[in-house]
Chains A and B, each alone.
Chain A
Amino acid sequence: MRELRVTPIKNGTVIDHIPAGLALKVLKILGIGDAVTSTVTVAMHVPSQAMGWKDIVKVEDRELGGRELDKIALIAPTATVNVIRNYNVAEKRPLALPDWAVGILRCANPNCISNVREPIESSFVVRSKNPLRVVCKYCDRELEDIVSHIL
């Protein structure tokens, strides 16, 4: 009998095909930490036909918003996001890297005006999608180490 490592969920979101090793980053994006209130299942380093190895995150009783999807697209553009309702895949949410990353990244330049108390959202133009390269709209600097600057 096939062993089920991860059981199906009734309602919520399944993020599959996350590049192996990035599941914890996805949890960070979703704000899942110590004070979690719904069941979260994380599978890391799972065999995958398409990818070799992959990670999976399942969050019960939660559907993701556009900005959360944009953030996931930044670090894991190959991931698939399925909305589960009553044990069935009700919706497949496509991940598309936007041309502008607004309000989802923090500029690494400490002297950038977007890092001080001003009534604006951070904003980066996506200069290249593969490899991912983004440039701050305000200070014009390219952001290195994108993952650790996700808000």
Chain B
Amino acid sequence: MSSFRGRDVLSIRDFTPADIQLVLRTARKMVPVAVGEKRSRSLEGKILSTLFYEPSTRTRLSFESAMARLGGRALGFSSAEGTSVQKGETLADTIRMVEAYSDAIVLRHPQEGAARLAAEFTEKPVINAGDGAGQHPTQTLLDLYTIWDEKGAFEGQNVTLVGDLKYGRTVHSLAYALAELGAHLTFVSPPTLEMPPEILERVKEKGLSFRAAHRLEEVIREADVLYVTRIQKERFPDAQEYEKVAGSYRIDMEILRDAKRGLIIMHPLPRVTEIAPDVDRTKHAVYFKQAFNAVPVRMALLDLILGEGA
């Protein structure tokens, strides 16, 4: 029996490199089922609750698709409206109730730490599908899967994270996990949106060096993976300043002239103007594939946590 059976997925930091490798290998085996070429009934009779206190269509649908592909069923809600939450029920009480209806709980909640709280009130496994500005471990796993699937390894890869590195929660978890897995990290951001010191501290604890830059042109030549995130307008005091900063981190054909041939470009989506549309047609663009990878990776997690073979 693997260590995954019945386990909570709250933060990527709960995963050892060996755990991550197991999820990635399992995800690869799931691809034929995820695209409908093969059938699986490994979670037949199992029920997954998807409790989404704030909307996240992509995350919710990929979990429900993953469960259905494995022969299981999903039930839940996609916003707090019309639920007992509006009557003032605590999250703890909702979790105690839902525990009786399902075999595992996927939780998306606007407040940080919600998934950890939920896990304290149920014996059933809780999967964190995003808690406010906190953790979103399954997003990190699908990002890792995409890099591993495209590049074959993490060690020695130069992964360059670009954009809002201060507030973007996906890049914090990803930086931490990549440091664990031995990738070289480069951080590119405006001075006001740099990676927080506590994340840098954790990367350093892993004994890894990293590079920080403000200009993408300085580092694009070395990059094997470019992970682009959105710079949000509301982070800037005025619109003009935002336009200037956001424009300097836009990925277009011109900046890619200096890039390695094998460079892959990732983005958690939805994108706005960070990547020019003509980049979509290049071999560098893997962001739509990355979005698809959500299904096999979440299938792998569900199967490892709930499956009989786990």
Query: Is A109 in contact with B91, judged by CB distance below 8 angstroms?
Result: no
> Which residues of chain B have C-beta atoms less than 8 A from A109's C-beta?
112
Does chain B have a CB within 8 A of A76? no
Query: Is B135 in contact with A113, judged by CB distance below 8 angstroms?
Result: no
Does chain A have a CB within 8 A of B132? yes
Q: Which of B113-121, B261-269, B278-286 is the contact stretch?
A: B113-121
Does chain A have a CB within 8 A of B2? no
C-beta contact mask, B116-135 vs A, less than 8 Å → 1, else 0? 11001000000000011111
Does chain A have a CB within 8 A of B255? no
Enumerate B126-172 residues with CB–CB distance to A below 8 Å: 131-135
Q: Which of A14-22, A40-48, A96-104, A137-145 is the contact stretch?
A: A137-145
Query: Is A140 in contact with B135, judged by CB distance below 8 angstroms?
Result: yes
Does chain B have a CB within 8 A of A136? yes
Does chain A have a CB within 8 A of B90? yes
Does chain B have a CB within 8 A of A111? yes
Enumerate B51-72 residues with CB–CB distance to A below 8 Å: none
Query: Is B112 in contact with A112, judged by CB distance below 8 angstroms?
Result: yes
Q: Give min CB distance, A134 to chain B, whole Å.
A: 13
Query: Is A118 in contact with B90, judged by CB distance below 8 angstroms?
Result: yes
Query: Is B112 in contact with A138, judged by CB distance below 8 angstroms?
Result: yes
Q: Determine the residue in chain A with the shortest Cβ distance to B135.
A: A140
Q: Give min CB distance, A118 to chain B, whole Å.
A: 5
Enumerate B230-244 residues with CB–CB distance to A below 8 Å: none
Does chain B have a CB within 8 A of A1? no
Query: Is A139 in contact with B112, judged by CB distance below 8 angstroms?
Result: yes
Query: Is A116 in contact with B111, judged by CB distance below 8 angstroms?
Result: yes
Query: Is B117 in contact with A120, judged by CB distance below 8 angstroms?
Result: yes
Does chain B have a CB within 8 A of A117? yes
Question: Which of A113, A116, A118, A142 meets B198, CB within 8 Å?
Answer: A142
Query: Is A111 in contact with B91, judged by CB distance below 8 angstroms?
Result: no
Q: Give min CB distance, B294 to chain A, whole Å.
A: 24
Does chain A have a CB within 8 A of B92? yes
Q: Determine the residue in chain A with the shortest Cβ distance to B172.
A: A140
Q: Is the interface of A mostly helix, strand, loop or mixed?
A: loop
Cα(A74)–Cα(B225), bound, Å: 44
Does chain A have a CB within 8 A of B110? yes
Query: Is A118 in contact with B91, judged by CB distance below 8 angstroms?
Result: yes
User: How many residues of chain A get a CB closer than 8 Å to chain B's CBs?
Assistant: 17
Cα(A119)–Cα(B133), bound, Å: 22
Q: Give min CB distance, B270 to chain A, whole Å.
A: 22
Given that A138-B116, A140-B135 are contacting pairs, would A111 and B92 also be in contact in the complex, using a CB cutoff of 8 Å?
no
Cα(A119)–Cα(B198), bound, Å: 29
Query: Is B90 in contact with A112, judged by CB distance below 8 angstroms?
Result: no
Given that A138-B116, A142-B198 are contacting pairs, would A111 and B132 also be in contact in the complex, using a CB cutoff of 8 Å?
yes
Query: Is B90 in contact with A138, judged by CB distance below 8 angstroms?
Result: no
Does chain B have a CB within 8 A of A13? no
Does chain B have a CB within 8 A of A82? no
Given that A117-B90, A118-B90, A140-B11 are contacting pairs, would A112 and B120 also be in contact in the complex, using a CB cutoff of 8 Å?
no
Query: Is B90 in contact with A137, judged by CB distance below 8 angstroms?
Result: no
Cα(A118)–Cα(B96), bound, Å: 13
Q: Determine the residue in chain A with the shortest Cβ distance to B111.
A: A113
Cα(A137)–Cα(B112), bound, Å: 10
> Which residues of chain A have C-beta atoms less than 8 A from B132's C-beta?
111, 139
Query: Is A119 in contact with B113, judged by CB distance below 8 angstroms?
Result: no
Does chain B have a CB within 8 A of A114? yes
Q: Give min CB distance, B51 to chain A, whole Å.
A: 14
Max count, chain A CB within 10 A of own CB: residue among B113, B114, B120, B132: B113
Q: List B residues at the A interface (Cβ < 8 Å).
A: 11, 90-92, 109-114, 116-117, 120, 131-135, 198
14 intermolecular pairs with C-beta atoms under 8 Å apart? A113-B109, A113-B113, A114-B113, A117-B90, A118-B91, A118-B117, A119-B92, A120-B92, A136-B113, A137-B113, A138-B113, A139-B112, A139-B132, A140-B134
Beyond A114-B113, A138-B113, A139-B112, 20 additional contacts (C-beta under 8 Å) are: A111-B110, A111-B112, A111-B132, A111-B133, A112-B111, A112-B113, A113-B112, A113-B113, A113-B116, A114-B117, A118-B91, A118-B92, A137-B113, A137-B116, A138-B112, A138-B116, A138-B117, A139-B134, A140-B112, A140-B113
